[in-house]
Amino acid sequence: MPLPAGRGELSDTLLDVLRGVPGEAEPPAGRSLRRTDPYGDDLQLALYLCYELHYQGFAEVDDTWEWNPDLLRLRQALEGRFLDALRADATEHDEVTSALSGLLAESGDGAGVSHYLREEGEPWQLREYIAQRSLYQLKEADPHVWVLPRLRGEAKAAMAAVEYDEFGAGRGERVHAKLFADLMADLGLDPAYNGYLDAASAQMLAVVNLMSLLGLHRALRGALVGHFATVEITSSPSSGRMAQALCRMGAGEAAVFFYTEHVEADAVHEQVVRHGVVEGLLRDEPWLAADIAFGVDATVFLEDRLADQLMGAWGDDRSSLRLPV
């Protein structure tokens, strides 16, 4: 994919550097990040650029930037600013049972994006939501693979079993990221990987950056498991509502199928993740309980911020995107 447009002094400078030759161009220093909004467009895009080098990269960027020491120092500073903010703002639990208990019961107030889209959302709002989520869904399960070498025993086996399903159980056409691309095409959206990076909000970038951050660091393996558990536990009911929203708006079979597939698959995954991955990890490394809880809390916190941004924009009858779809 081509490089996106910058969103501030930090990301503008980083983009200029990435177009250069590693060793000749020097990334910006991260010492002055204390005044930078940890959830803002500039920092989140800069962090997204650093992480994307570990996924599919950019057409204009030399692949050897991925492990450039100066760039890694900048990424470390960006991650520290982001993590410090999350630990201060998102931490609510210090043990796993209480962190997960709130996810196991559906809210009775009918609030949230999937509720809104099912009941009264309009097609343009649905398409905006899908465009935003594409940054996440077209990477579906990718960063969670990084935790496999860091697990053992039952936790590793259960995690691998869920990931096998996410990657189509050996069938390329059933890879969940491919199914989401089919959904996008059905809705007349561009299914290209990172195709809506310029349009996506800072809140969406933060959601994606969290899973990349947790996946890349062995020290955060517990938080990555907490993140994965949150995704799987909350997916089935919200996927059911999204399937109903798509049917109500007359979407095609491929669009509806992505979510109906997740209703069934993630209901099973929830049990495997809770009893196999989470409980297995706690048996092996009980000292990671607070980290797992933090992964849950941080995921919920950032997803709630994204929902607030979407619903706030739609409530004012304006686009949630930085650029039109």
Which amino acid would we find at residue 28?
Answer: P
d(CA 197, CA 200): 5
Maximum separation of any 2 CA atoms in the chain, in Å: 57
Bridge partners, 25 (sequence order): 22
d(CA 188, CA 12): 31
Q: Please tell me whether the overall predicted TM-score, pTM, comes out greater than 0.85 for this model.
A: yes
pLDDT computed for residue 106 by the predictor: 60
d(CA 163, CA 256): 22
d(CA 237, CA 280): 25
pLDDT computed for residue 110 by the predictor: 67
pLDDT computed for residue 152 by the predictor: 96
Q: What is the pLDDT of residues 224-243, one digit of tens each?
A: 999 999 999 888 889 999 99
pLDDT computed for residue 198 by the predictor: 98
**Distances 202 to 31, 166, 306 between C-alpha atoms, Å:** 22, 26, 9
d(CA 187, CA 183): 6
d(CA 281, CA 225): 9
Per the rule left: phi > 0, alpha: psi between -120 and 50, beta: everything else, 182 is alpha
d(CA 254, CA 162): 22
Beta carbons within 8 Å of 15's beta carbon, 6+ residues apart: 3, 4, 6, 49
pLDDT computed for residue 105 by the predictor: 65
d(CA 282, CA 294): 14
Q: For the chain, 325 residues long, give each residue's pLDDT as a single digit of tens.
A: 899 999 999 999 999 999 999 988 888 877 678 888 999 999 999 999 999 999 999 999 999 999 999 999 999 999 999 999 999 999 999 899 999 988 876 644 567 999 999 999 999 999 999 999 999 999 989 999 999 999 999 999 999 999 999 999 899 999 999 999 999 999 999 999 999 999 999 999 999 999 999 999 999 999 999 999 999 988 888 999 999 999 999 999 989 999 998 887 767 888 899 999 999 999 999 999 999 999 999 999 999 999 999 999 999 999 999 998 8
* Strand, coil or helix: 22: strand
d(CA 56, CA 59): 9
pLDDT computed for residue 265 by the predictor: 73
pLDDT computed for residue 133 by the predictor: 97
Which amino acid would we find at residue 40?
Answer: G
pLDDT computed for residue 325 by the predictor: 84
The two tokens of residue 69 are 């020491």
Find out whether 203 and 307 touch, Cβ atoms under 8 Å.
no
d(CA 158, CA 153): 9
